[in-house]
Structure 1
Amino acid sequence: MDSLTQAVLGAALQGTVLGRVQGRRALLYGAALGTLPDLDVLIRYADPVSQMTYHRGFSHSLFVLSGLALLLAWLVAWVGRHKGYAWPRLFLAFWLVLVTHPLLDAFTVYGTQLFWPLQPTPQSWAAVFIIDPLYTLPLLAAVLYAGCRGLRGRAVALLSLALAFSTAYLGFGLAGRILVEQRFEQALQAQGVAASEVRAVPIAFNSLVWRLLAKTPDGHYYEGVSSLFDRTPAEHLRLPRNLQAGEVLADAPLLQRLRWFTGDWLRYDVIGDALVVSDLRMGLPGNYSFRFEMARRDAAGQWAAIAPRDWAGGGAASMFDGAKLGLIWRRILAPQPPLPLASWATPAIEAGH
């Protein structure tokens, strides 16, 4: 999630657990501690694929953060032994603030390595978008109220209520994802399409309208959009993953790492003399957030892997196309007319040829 959300979550947790001992300082300490795991963004890697796939790694490990919480609790208890700090309460506060950061990140689609140094596919539960006002604003309001009124009585109760609401909202998003995935799979089955894998991803700023993705064994994928309120099958289209084009990178370690990180939700496009690899999970239909040039073709027509570089048209801005988002948000309540998914995807389809 975004840094503001992580900060107010940390502030609310530490304010609830330690507010009566630390007062308003608990909010500041919790906000700072809650954003600590994201300091890994300061580490610069040689290429954007490494930058993407090593982010949310060791600094988001439940093992590492639990150990850090133990160390911090012991240190603060020792330094503040004359101030009434109880080690168990300190550990509970620090542990909650630290581990809820990666757990919240895992509720987004990006991918979080909760069990580093173990190497399962990064957790990507895709229940909320990376910025969701309905999750953040109640926490922010409760923290601001507690900061103004102090950590007593009603303020602590309000923090607890905001935390309960935010947790329930994550459950709502997860339930919504499961529902739209089941609908999409059933709609494809009704058309005789056997999907090997289906997943849904929330679209910007809400958990009511979802991007739908489904892989098929023949190397294609289906992409669609659905609202929780739909009563008819989601509009969708069939697109190629162009797996044959990606064979030139079969032995490239960075491609293998990208496949692991994304759960192999990738497509490959030959654009001029460039081989572009796209992460299908993030962005809007036909406009993906993470696209990397990973191979070049020479004058003799031979392909060779290169150090990956960002491809124009990707990046976070691809998720915030105002015209598309306006139509997509209308889809929350109005399934007709259907979204122009084919025209949105045309540039990517043409590039794949």
Structure 2
Amino acid sequence: MLGAGIQGAMLGRVQGRRALIYGAALATLPDLDVLMSYPDPVSLMTYHRGFSHSVFVLTGLALLLAWLIRKYWPQAPYSGRRLFLTIWLVLVTHPILDAFTVYGTQLFWPLATIPESWSAIFIIDPVYTVPLLLAVLFAIAFGLKRTARRLLVAALVFSTAYLGFGLAGRMAAEHRVREAMQGQGIAVAELRATPMPFNTLVWRVIAKTPDGHYYEAVSSLFDRETPEWVRLPLNLDIGQALAGVPLHERLRWFTDDWLRYDAIGDALVVSDLRMGMAGHYTFRFKMAERAADGAWKPVTPSVWPTDRGGWSELKLVLRRILHAQPPLPLAQWSELAKE
């Protein structure tokens, strides 16, 4: 929708409805990396949103495409500069929008910087998508006349402002939780907030402590009470068994070391704390097995089954936007991380 909206607004007067198709198709190109095969799920996770999401690579691709179009269609009724700017915006706004989620986007590949993870918006948020969708549908139905182009511009302005609202919400949630923890004498080493599913009003905040634990906290924009939280172990002593293992080090880099370790039976399970909710972590990997002598032996990572939550949990989360009582059952949910 974003790519269609941009191209429709910038070239719709000339290209008509085709601008929407071209923009939507062009905007999918960075995600073609999903067609690549990887030998394990950790590689799949950490190489996705890599080179194909680099602003350097996409700028070069935009220059190439604009040059090819001008070369083989020199009579095009728009300037090469406008054509390049349109293609460039359609391409680079894809990874930039990805960077506003928590997953991690390697915007500056091949530079080995920690992937950008601005945590301003949930990966699916109707408040962001629906206005763009309605504007595109209007343009499809009535053509790219002045009214439709203005609607597209308005939807683009709104969606961009909404991302700013999400960033402000994240900073407010982090400030609220940090202040509450400091008020109770809790030392916080690192802290970050991520939006709960489908909204930017209630936030999950994770906070590390210097003693190897972390807190799962929840804070809503409308809270007037102290946020609820639960203290949990990172189990860093178990994680030492993976020290120096290349895929483990890559996972630490990709997640900025927001990892938890659990010994579950004879498996050493590593959980990415950034995504999901307490106990309902989206990405979990078995990365070692217990040998006969009791020592941990690294293995090729595999996906560890996880309860990602369902409708019953989602109802509680959405209710939590306006109602602080009863608090979310974080302690109960967190027990799932041991399974």
Match of 2:220 in 1: 227
Query: Is 1:216 matched up with 2:209?
Result: yes
Within a 5 Å distance, the mapping from 1:130-279 to structure 2 comes to 130-279=123-272
Post-superposition Cα deviations, 1:50-80, rounded to whole Å, max 9, x if no partner, equal 0000000000000000000000111111111
Aligned residue identity for 1:330: R
Post-superposition Cα deviations, 1:65-118, rounded to whole Å, max 9, x if no partner, equal 000000011111111112323110100100000000000000000000000000
In 2: Cα distance, 1:138 partner to 1:80 partner: 34
Aligned residues of 1:245 and 1:269 also touching (Cα < 8 A) = yes
In 2: Cα distance, 1:347 partner to 1:148 partner: 48
In 1: Cα distance, 2:285 partner to 2:336 partner: 16
In 2: Cα distance, 1:76 partner to 1:176 partner: 42
SS of 1:63's partner is helix
Q: How big is the alpha-carbon RMSD for the aligned residues of Structure 1 and Structure 2?
A: 0.9
Within a 5 Å distance, the mapping from 1:41-80 to structure 2 comes to 41-80=34-73
Match of 1:281 in 2: 274
Match of 2:93 in 1: 100
Aligned residues of 1:77 and 1:85 also touching (Cα < 8 A) = no
Structure 2: 5+ residue stretches without partners? none
Match of 2:318 in 1: 329
In 2: Cα distance, 1:114 partner to 1:82 partner: 34
In 1: Cα distance, 2:145 partner to 2:336 partner: 57
Which of these residues, 1, 6, 14, is aligned with residue 13 of structure 1? 6
Match of 2:108 in 1: 115
Post-superposition Cα deviations, 1:9-36, rounded to whole Å, max 9, x if no partner, equal 0000001111111111000000000111
In 2: Cα distance, 1:257 partner to 1:194 partner: 28
Percentage of matched positions with identical amino acids: 65
Post-superposition Cα deviations, 1:190-245, rounded to whole Å, max 9, x if no partner, equal 11111111111001111111111001111100001111100111100100000000
Query: Is 1:345 matched up with 2:338?
Result: no
Query: Is 1:23 matched up with 2:12?
Result: no
Aligned residue identity for 1:42: L
- Offset, 1:324: 1.0
In 1: Cα distance, 2:254 partner to 2:53 partner: 15
In 1: Cα distance, 2:76 partner to 2:241 partner: 64
In 1: Cα distance, 2:137 partner to 2:313 partner: 34
The TM-score with structure 1 as length reference comes to 0.95
Structure 1: 5+ residue stretches without partners? 1-7
In 2: Cα distance, 1:48 partner to 1:135 partner: 30
In 1: Cα distance, 2:88 partner to 2:75 partner: 22
Post-superposition Cα deviations, 1:300-343, rounded to whole Å, max 9, x if no partner, equal 212110000000116xxx1x521111111111111011111111
Runs of 4+ displaced beyond 3 Å: none
- Offset, 1:179: 0.1
